[in-house]
Structure 1
Amino acid sequence: MSKTIIVSNRLPIKITEDENGYALQPSEGGLATGLASIHAQGDNSWIGWPGISIDDPQQQAYFTSTLQEKRLIPLFLDEDEIKGFYEGFSNEVLWPIFHYFPNFANYNLQNWETYVRVNQKFLELILQVAEPDDTIWVHDYQLLLLPGMLRKALPDASIGFFQHIPFPSQELFRLIPWRKELLEGILGADLLGFHTFDDVRHFISSATRLIGTNNNANRLEVEGRAVFVEPFPMGIDSKRFADLSQAEAVTNRVAELRSNFGGQKIILSIDRLDYSKGIIQRLEAFELFLRENPAFHKEVTLYMIVVPSRDMVPHYRELKDHIDRLVGHINAQYGAYDWYPVAYFYHGYPMSEIAALYNVADVCLVTPMRDGMNLVSKEYIACRKDATGVLILSEMAGAAKELIDAIIVNPNNIHDTRDALLAALNMPMAEMKKRMKSMQAIVFKFTVQHWATLFMNRLQEIKNEQSTTKARLVGASIEEQIITQYKNASSRLLLLDYDGTLVGFQDDIDKASPDEELYQLLDQLEADILNHLVIISGRKHSTLEKWFPGRNYSLVAEHGVWTKEPGSEWRLKSGLSNSWKDEVGSLMEAFADRTPGAFVEEKSFSLAWHYRKVQRDLGPLRAHELIDSLRDYSATYGLQLLDGDKVVEIRSAEVNKGRATLDILHENHYDFIFSIGDDRTDEDTFQVLPPEACTVKVGTEVSAARFYLKQQSDVRALLRKLADASTATQ
């Protein structure tokens, strides 16, 4: 029976050590809660680091056995691995780059090598327990290489990946020296999940620009395999927080806190110590608020909790010192003997205390400089059963895309945050409740359990789709079926596209001439008297004439404008007009003039605007603009617009490969038809052929063709087998 293997840097249970020895205790965080329902099912297991370095093999064996009873599989790391993998590369390269602090990045080669080695250790542990039909769900930035490693080891595995922190723009991501390896690692998954659509867009931009991955919207093509990139906003266990708020210990603590602060308004701030959280800017905004609004002195307190984190690292130690100085300055400048504007606490608290603070706070101030989601904002909303309270939320947090009824601020603009504080503290009760109820509807619907279920269901849909399309891939069984039909046929039609099919795609259109191997292959196919070989191309007839002089196969040029049978002259399709060319050509030349690398190719009765040499994203942008500009001409002159492979072509609507194919079928009868092509123009051919024809699309399975090949290099191998079958039967 198949199972799901969850893989994350940390297990949901950690090993701790004190004077009494080792002990197990639950890990904090929403991930453990969110995946608990997935982990609880069947024989599902969870692999991760237990949070401590243990060198004693006997202790490792003991905890491995103990944790495996809970279907948890620990991966033990030594101190050097923790330092290089987690503290080093993960948090000195990936964390600052992904949070838009590139000046904090430390590109240490040794740390990178340790990162690779630890990802490899995760792979080896997974392979000990994984079966071929298992689903493997990998989590977060510490394991970016793991999906690619898994794909090589388990080619048919169902692999998901979710990133819990932001993904940066490609201009930032490209700063990482090992960007190619990281992207290829992530793309080993079938489904990539991020918190927001912005993260999805940034990842696709990096994959397409930095390693040349082809994409269609959120679908990437990776070595003939479809990889989907989608947003899955993570939620919280809303019911747990709502129930906790009603617990007696929490309600008692709420009453105590309210008594301590009298009638003051409480602004709550909770963060881990990190430069991405915007703590300094938040304090500066609060100081500005106090300076400009003296009426609120002694009426409001900023209750600020900073949870210790890596405060021995220089950047974090400097941040801690800066916070200490700024809090001291504000309290000294504006405080009184009976009031401190900032109540500052530098340590962690149990969840019951946090829930009490959520219920006391009139305003929750969440203003990170960059955050993947930020669950504090959602926890605050879930705890407010009376629907009071105001959330001020940074637009740089993923949660801002969902919680649009919060007061949204730019954390870099302290004047913006000051205005938000004033608006929050003066907000009418009716508006406050309206906003809060709207956000609660979202938080209680899109829970962390909902998030996990959505991701797993989507991964299953993708694997089902891949299974269906795999059945159409020309593998051994389909290849044998095609060859058998070919051998048994008494008359055969072979319709072969040229560019991207018989030859590879070239940036220079004049460099795609046939090579000697192709000539030999086509001549061998043509030599079989049962075969009618047709090269059907968008190329100019003069080009095909130059490339195939005196050859005994039929040629169709410019999608059917010109045709030539062996031993005959070129024949022009009648009834075509060029009256539109001057006007349309001027427009296309104008687009070429403002698009470096683009050029216009004139054919007998069509014009083609090529952008194969244009900067990757600029080309499609200009092409879509050109298509929009050409639509009126298309309607006026009865022309057809074609958005091809790095080319926009406009031609008579009476001309296409489908019509040319129908002319061939009208003149002859065949009991075996084979058609192969790689772009949009070939779809016209596939659509007019009878359903029993062997139609093959090259490069993608999305087509009207019955079958597909992964890449152009596979075409000649298939044609060679057909040619050899001819030789064997002659």
Structure 2
Amino acid sequence: MHSPESRTYRLVVVSNRLPVDSHVGADGAVVWTRSPGGLVTALESVTRGAECAWVGWPGSPDLELEPFDEDGMRLVPVSLTDDDVERYYEGFSNASVWPLYHDVIAVPSYHREWWERYVAVNRRFAEAAAAVAAEGATVWVQDYQLQLVPRMLRELRPDLAIGFFLHIPFPPYGLFSQLPWRQRIVEGLLGADVVGFQRVGDAANFATAVRRLTDTVVRAQHRGTQIEVADAPGRRRVVHARAFPISIDTASLEALARTPEVRARAREIRESLGPDRTLLLGVDRLDYTKGILHRLKAYQELLEDGSIEVDDAALIQIAVPSRERVAAYAQLRDEVELMAGRINGDFQTLKHRAVSYHYHAYPREEMAAMFLAADVLLVTALRDGMNLVAKEYVACRTDEDGVLVLSEFTGAADELRRAVLVNPHDIAGLKEAMLRAMRMPRQERRSRMRAMRRRVAEHDVARWSSEFLEALEQAADMSRADGDGASQLPGDARYSREAGRPDAREDRPDGSSEGASPGMSSTELLSDASEDAEPDRRLDLDTPPRWSRLPESLLAALREFARKPRVLVALDFDGTLAPEVDDPAKARALPEARAAVLRLAAMPRTRVALVSGRSVADLEAVAADFPDSVLLVGSHGAEIRLDEETTFEPLDEGEQYELATLGQILGDVADRHEAIWLERKPVGFALHTRLATAENGRLARLVALQEVGEAIDPDDVLVRDGRTTLEFAIRGTTKGEALEHLRQATGADAVMYAGDDVTDEDGFAALGPDDVGLKSGEGRTLANFRVKGPAEVSLAIARLADFREGDVHEQ
């Protein structure tokens, strides 16, 4: 064992490997060089020039080394024996945790002797870090091999600020629960002040595991989760769990890609493979999670069906050696090389190979040249925490050209939304994506690449590390100050995400039914009416020309409805009384609609209600000029205001947690997609896509559905999918239930309901034979009558007021 380190450091990084590799020089001396790994690159901006020590294994078994300095950083080696490597690293870390955390693409193995060695080695790392950390220092523990270190370190050094970052996915509880030592892993991670993940869904999965396996208090916040833990009797500490998507040193890669040497090398690569061929590139560590075989299969089928020719296209596959001592990886190498060889045997010509396969790593300069040379980068991972190769490709494309085909199962897909996103399990879809990328027009390529380059430039590795360390500093300060768990998560923000509209409100909770028509404008239809005009009560009861646009059958039904002793007229607001507008806060009922509502509300034995997906508070704002006698139903029935008294059953603890989890997931989705904004509701959230492009709106919906589905039990959340909104609610109330409640509360003999949206179909379904259902706009409906839009709804309720006024006076 090496002797204890006498120096201490303000920042200590702990990872399985030291950031260096060793080789023997010409003089027989050991020479250390910086490792090419993504973690080393990611942390370089933090460790460069800092008072920093890095604790890790030097990479060779049974190597006893004293701490040493390299490239301005103190390296503290942790020695591992051959048996340690076999059981802790190749065993528990890579044959148990790795496949389990990657959706069980390969079957995990669980052995007690592996676990016992994992515990022992984690303790060794914790002790080494404790020995070199200064009083109150920051210790940043990295990745799945060291998940027990935070708790061990907390027990050894409670004065430290401890952070942990998981670079790979954290699985859903249904998978994680099969791990025999699941509770020990969770408790180990809870030793940290901040636990960071690549994706919001990963953080939510962890929070679910904590709730299921421990007695701690879990509070979901907008940007993460707060977890109260007891370090000692009477001493509580708050652990913050949230997403911190890792990134790259964008500026460095851009500068490298602009050098004359790299540009010249890129031209050489293209010339050697055929300057007129479309070059597809795959760069992966040789691992079963990377989807290399899926990529080769799709490429093979494109050649087989004649969609592409070898003389027109080439696939370059870089397979970086990985875990060569593990049998499964050796088998994967055999399968990949056999398939690449078969494709070449079947399709190569005297002039060109179909697949250029390379089983080794390349220096950064060569990779930058390959990125510049490649027309298309294929990232087809079956599950990946982030995938920095995708970001590196984007950073190197200073020419704003090239197409990224990106698996939706990578963390990078959350950020690089202008990539061509694919499900790599869908070979037919993957083939289509590859062809689309190869044939994409220059203008579209440039537009997509520009957007992605802005993203990686703004969210680089320096921002990743600084945001994590700032959150860690704040969390540790809070715990040191009082430990009462009442503080808010660092970086918490309001729910409204649209730039320039922090308080933007919803105009329609779930979008409109397909092809909905806004109808004629009020100026076209109502030239004799103004918003402030007194309602005209001297209308001719013989049908004038303007009623002719209403079906005769509807007029007859309204006349019959008006004769009922006690009636309820329930109306949706947006798209029914009010035309759709871009700014929901500016939505107002058409003047004639307002006038008709005022007339109906003033009649005896006649109640009017607004039934909306908006909150009651929102309805009160947009319908402020309606009388107080108008009943209000908000959030699809979750809120009901009857005669100035609003009823709302408070959320229980589980519902509060799920609501906050929804907020943090959907808020992050809105952050990542341009012109998408989020509205909070009493029992859920509405993701608005009205102002986004069709593609951006579609992508935001897909991401939201996927990430919510990963984090929350589908049985616990109701999804309402409209044309321009996607709403998630943790309480399944409907407008149909609300109408039944209103019918009972008002004692109505008959109900009329008018609405335009798919959510209004629940209301129509609740109507009986004496009731009237009126659909505003197009789309399939259960309503027995339909009109064009809000202008015609206004005519209908005005005509109802005419009929009702005469019949009421006769009663």
TM-score by length of structure 2 reads: 0.58
Written as runs of structure 1 = structure 2, the 5 A alignment for 1:215-234 is 215-217=218-220, 218-223=225-230, 224-234=236-246
* TM-superposition CA deviations, 1:169-199 (whole Å, max 9, x none): 1111111111110010011111111111111
Specify every segment of 5 or more residues in structure 2 that has no aligned partner in the other structure, as ranges. Answer: 1-7, 231-235, 487-633, 657-811
1:644 Cα offset (Å): 5.3
Instruction: State which of 322, 326, 330 in structure 2 corresponds to 1:309.
Output: 322
The residue that corresponds to 1:180 in the other structure is 183
- Determine helix, strand or coil for the equivalent of 2:367: helix
Choose from 347, 358, 362 the match for 1:345. Answer: 358
What amino acid is the match of 2:78?
L
Alignment partners' CA distance in 2, 1:377 and 1:646: 38
Measure the CA separation in 2 of the matches of 1:88 and 1:316: 13
* 1:51 partnered with 2:64: no
Aligned to 1:202: 205
d(CA) in 1 for partners of 2:22, 2:485: 49
The residue that corresponds to 1:23 in the other structure is 31
1:103–1:444: structure 2 CA closer, same or farther, 3 Å change rule? closer
- Give 1:247 shift: 2.5
Deviation at 1:18, TM superposition (A): 7.1
In the alignment, which of 389, 397, 400 is matched to residue 387 of structure 1?
400
The equivalent of 1:613 in structure 2 is none
> Which SS does the other structure have where 1:296 is aligned?
coil
Once the two structures are overlaid, the 10-residue window that deviates more, 95-104 or 224-233, is 95-104
Matches for 1:639-678 after TM superposition, within 5 Å: 641-643=649-651
Question: Match of 1:463?
Answer: 476
1:129 and 2:132 equivalent?
A: yes
User: Which residue identity does 1:101 align to in structure 2?
Assistant: V
Name the counterpart of 1:114: 117
- The CA distance in 2 between the partners of 1:385 and 1:633, in whole Å, is 58
Point out the more displaced range, 340-349 or 458-467: 458-467
Structure 1: how far apart are the matches of 2:345 and 2:68? 55
Deviations 1:433-492 (A, max 9, x none): 00000000011111111110110111112223334434899xxxxxxxxxxxxxxxxxxx
Q: CA deviation at 1:38?
A: 2.2
8 A contact 1:634–1:640 mirrored in 2: no
Match in the other structure for 2:387? 374
Q: Does 1:75 align with 2:78?
A: yes
Asked if the contact 2:92–2:114 (Cα under 8 Å) also holds between the matched residues in 1, the reply is yes
Query: Residues of 2 paired with 1:640 and 1:339: CA distance?
Result: 71
1:511-548 superposed Cα distances (whole Å, 9 cap, x missing partner): xxxxxxxxxxxxxxxxxxxxxxxxxxxxxxxxxxxxxx
1:34 paired residue number: 42
Shift in CA distance, 420/102, structure 1 to aligned 2, threshold 3 Å: closer
Residue 427 of structure 2 corresponds to residue 414 of structure 1:
yes
Contact 1:190-1:228 at 8 Å conserved across structures: yes
RMSD after superposition: 2.6
Q: Which residue number in structure 2 is paired with residue 94 of structure 1?
A: 97
Structure 2: distance between partners of 1:646 and 1:314: 45
After the TM superposition, which of the residue ranges 432-441 and 629-638 deviates more from structure 2?
Answer: 629-638
Quote the offset at 1:326 in angstroms: 1.2
Aligned to 1:13: 20
Deviations 1:268-317 (A, max 9, x none): 00111100000111111111222233453310000111111123322112
Determine if contact 1:160/1:191 at 8 Å carries over to the other structure. Answer: yes
- One-letter amino acid of the structure 2 residue matched with residue 282 of structure 1: R
Greater relative CO (CA pairs within 8 A, separation 6+): 2
- 1:360 aligned onto 2:373: yes
How many residue pairs match? The answer is 492
The CA distance in 1 between the partners of 2:478 and 2:388, in whole Å, is 33
**What is residue 687 of structure 1 aligned with on the other side?**
none
Amino acid corresponding to residue 226 of structure 1 in structure 2: V
**Which 5+ residue runs of structure 1 have no aligned equivalent?**
474-625, 649-730
SS in 2 for 1:309: coil
1:253 and 2:253 are equivalent in the alignment:
no
> Which of 163, 167, 170 is equivalent to 1:164?
167
Over 3 Å counting, the alpha-carbon distance change for 1:123 and 1:631 in structure 2 is: same
What pairs up with 1:232-271 in 2 under 5 angstroms?
A: 232-262=244-274, 263-271=276-284
How far residue 31 of structure 1 moved from its aligned partner, in angstroms, is 2.0
Q: CA, structure 1 residues 247+627, in 2 after alignment: closer, same or farther (shift >3 Å)? A: closer
- Residue 339 of structure 1, CA deviation: 1.9
Q: Which amino acid aligns with 1:12?
A: P
Label 1:126 to 1:68 Cα distance change in 2 as closer, same or farther (>3 A): farther
**Contact preservation (8 Å) 2:68, 2:74:** no
For 1:34 and 1:638, locate their aligned partners in 2 and report how far apart those are by CA, in whole Å.
Answer: 53
Is the 1:634–1:641 Cα contact (8 Å) retained in structure 2? no
Using the alignment, how far apart are the partners of 1:391 and 1:42 within structure 2? 35
Residues 1:326 and 2:339 aligned together: yes
The Cα of 1:204 is off from its aligned counterpart by: 1.1
Q: Which residue does the alignment assign to 1:713?
A: none
Distance in 1 between the 2:57 and 2:121 partners?
11
CA deviation map 1:106-126 (0-9, x unaligned): 211111111100111111112
1:147 to 146, 150, 161: 150
C-alpha displacement of 1:143: 0.5
**Per-residue Cα deviation, 1:674-723 (whole angstroms, up to 9, x for no partner):** xxxxxxxxxxxxxxxxxxxxxxxxxxxxxxxxxxxxxxxxxxxxxxxxxx
Residue of structure 2 in register with 1:694 after alignment? none
Q: Offset of 1:337 from its aligned partner?
A: 1.8
Deviation at 1:130, TM superposition (A): 2.2
Query: What is the CA-CA distance between 1:641 and the residue it aligns to?
Result: 4.0
Secondary structure of 2:476 counterpart: helix
Structure-2 separation of matches of 1:106 and 1:641: 47
Q: Secondary structure at the match of 2:192?
A: coil
Rounded Cα–Cα distance in structure 1 between residues aligned with 2:263 and 2:124: 47
CA shift at 1:54, angstroms?
A: 4.0
Sequence identity (%): 37
- Matched AA of 2:383: R
The answer on whether the counterparts of 1:7 and 1:136 sit within 8 Å (CA) in structure 2 is: yes
The structural deviation recorded for 1:17 is 4.5
Q: 2:462 aligns with which of 449, 460, 463?
A: 449
Kindly report which structure 2 residues correspond to 1:610-625, keeping only aligned pairs within 5 A, or say none. Answer: none
Q: Residue 265 of structure 1: CA displacement?
A: 0.7
The 5 Å alignment of 1:466-477 reads: 466-470=479-483
Structure 2 CA distance, aligned partners of 1:312 and 1:160?
Answer: 32
CA distance in 2, matches of 1:647, 1:411: 35
Contact between 1:99 and 1:168, CA under 8 Å: does it hold in 2?
yes
Q: Which amino acid aligns with 2:111?
A: N
SS at 1:166 equivalent: coil
Rounded to whole Å, the distance in 2 between the matches of 1:11 and 1:90 is 17
Say if 1:462 and 1:290 are closer, same or farther in 2 by CA, change over 3 A. Answer: same
Aligned partner of residue 132 in structure 1, secondary structure: strand
